[in-house]
Structure 1
Amino acid sequence: MLLPRLMGHRGFAARAPENTLSALRAAAEAGIRWVEIDVQLLADGTPVIWHDAHMARCSNSRAFLSQVGLAEARRFDVGSWFSPEFAGERIATLEEALATVNELGLGLNLEIKVSTARDPLRLTEAVVPLLNGALPSDRLLLSSFSQEALYRAHRLDPSLNLGILYDEKVPRVWQWDVERVGAVSIHANWENLNPNIVKEMRQKGLEVVCYTVNDPEAFSPWWECGVNSVISDDPTLFSQLSDAAEYPQGEDNEHQPSDPIAD
């Protein structure tokens, strides 16, 4: 699987309320071709696009997702906190997000977000069936910090492209993790990354994704180390820095997709 050079974080978090349909549309309008969004379950088992365990940060409610069903969650405004122009935005279901991503022709990195005390298997079993036929396989990547979730997803649908997320430093057992779930990519915090590990990952044929990169100039040496892709709150920063010029490609130039903003 070839991933794009740039992905919009939580849709396009710099330009629209994160993890909303408006954020997906803003990304498409800006020329961003891939987006990353998070999926969790409401109390009634509905998969929705949301990052936190609660709604306090990004809505006018303090409810926990584990305590509200879809009908109640739809009552809350999830756009005004960002800007008055997004007043009335409602929480999106996974099915709505998939339909919007497909309509816009975007690629999707869908993160299975397992909050504290939530069941990774229940979430995964609710999500995977909805992905079947929703997007072409080359435009869909399922990722997670949860090894349980990824392993279950792999068992449910071995054809899925899976990405392993690491929070702190990449562990020594990363190769075993990759083999266990059949992962195609590793997603790491770029501030905790080791260049030698990046090289090893690329030699294994893995895509290397870094998050959340909002300083293109500081990040630029990592392109030469072999990083394929970055997730950014504002991917347009990269094209502004380079004035649409091509970035350094590292050793595996033939495997590097072009900049989706500059195309």
Structure 2
Amino acid sequence: MSDIFSRIALPATIAHRGLSAHAPENTLAAVKAAHAAGHAWVELDVQLLGDGTPIIWHDAGVRRCSNSRGKLKKLNWEVASRLDVGRWFDTTFSGERMATLEEMLALLDELGMGLNLELKVNRGRDASALVESVLPAAMQSLPRERLLVSSFDMTALNAARRLVPDPQALALGLLYEKLPRDWEDRASRLGAFSLHLDWRRLKLAQAQAVAASDYRLLCYTVNDTQAYQRLCQWGVDAVISDDPGRLTR
């Protein structure tokens, strides 16, 4: 595992869904804003539309972050591409469009940024189909030292590892709200690179145990400066934040 650890230089902070405190989440605008603010890595969510188009999106539907409503599984790209996904955040982003995975990967490659790509498997969706549509494109577009794929969904993570059996070729992260007791066994079986935990449910002893292991420890979603400083002292490798600059100022 040492080779992949030496190649992937995670920054101390990663911009959550792009710079989502200052731009609409999971959009090209949010990633451009993160880059302009000096952040080297972003965390983004990927799903499939009903027609199989991979898009950068978090929710199962579009109501919260667009000018329309409906489930992703019932939308095709022709319809989804016309949605305004910026105005809900601020009128200055009116006209921002949903990003396809292809568009986002091209932007990240152009900007030289790193990506923590979360495989988002909402209820009733096919995890294996998501992996098969997303993973080859991501690996072709970004060098392996700038790509970390994570998920709460073990079906998705296992499918990813079957597709890319070599842990040195693809870094995978296990996402949990709370660290399970058998985390070492799960991480070993997957050939994982990292564990991603909700900082509010993390205890010092748990952080120290992961920090002393062969796996990187990331925490989400950290927007409190005091919490960030405490997590750094606990040995956390990186935090995912809506506004990373605020933590380090």
| TM-score of Structure 1 vs Structure 2, range by shorter chain | over 0.9
1:251 corresponds to which residue? Answer: none
Aligned length: 239
**Does the CA-based 8 Å contact 2:228-2:247 persist in structure 1?**
no
CA separation in 2, counterparts of 1:12 and 1:132? 23
1:253 corresponds to which residue? Answer: none
1:229 aligns with 2:238: yes
Corresponding residue to 1:40 among 44, 47, 50 = 47
1:101 corresponds to which residue? Answer: 108
2:159 corresponds to which residue? Answer: 152
**Does the CA-based 8 Å contact 1:78-1:91 persist in structure 2?**
yes
* TM superposition shift of 1:200: 1.9
**Does the CA-based 8 Å contact 1:16-1:23 persist in structure 2?**
yes
Q: Point out where structure 2 has 5 or more consecutive residues left out of the alignment.
A: none
* TM superposition shift of 1:239: 2.2
CA separation in 2, counterparts of 1:198 and 1:218? 13
* TM superposition shift of 1:202: 2.1
Q: Point out where structure 1 has 5 or more consecutive residues left out of the alignment.
A: 241-263
Note the 1:28-177 alignment, pairs <5 A.
28-158=35-165, 159-167=169-177, 169-177=178-186
CA separation in 2, counterparts of 1:16 and 1:225? 30
2:227 corresponds to which residue? Answer: 218
RMSD: 1.0
2:209 corresponds to which residue? Answer: 200
1:190 aligns with 2:186: no
1:16 corresponds to which residue? Answer: 23
1:185 counterpart letter in structure 2: S
The percentage of counterpart residues that share the same residue type is: 50
**Does the CA-based 8 Å contact 1:128-1:157 persist in structure 2?**
no
CA separation in 1, counterparts of 2:227 and 2:187? 29
* TM superposition shift of 1:131: 1.7
CA separation in 1, counterparts of 2:236 and 2:215? 10
2:173 counterpart letter in structure 1: G
**What TM-score results when the alignment is normalised by the length of structure 1?**
0.89
1:166 counterpart letter in structure 2: Y
1:49 counterpart letter in structure 2: I
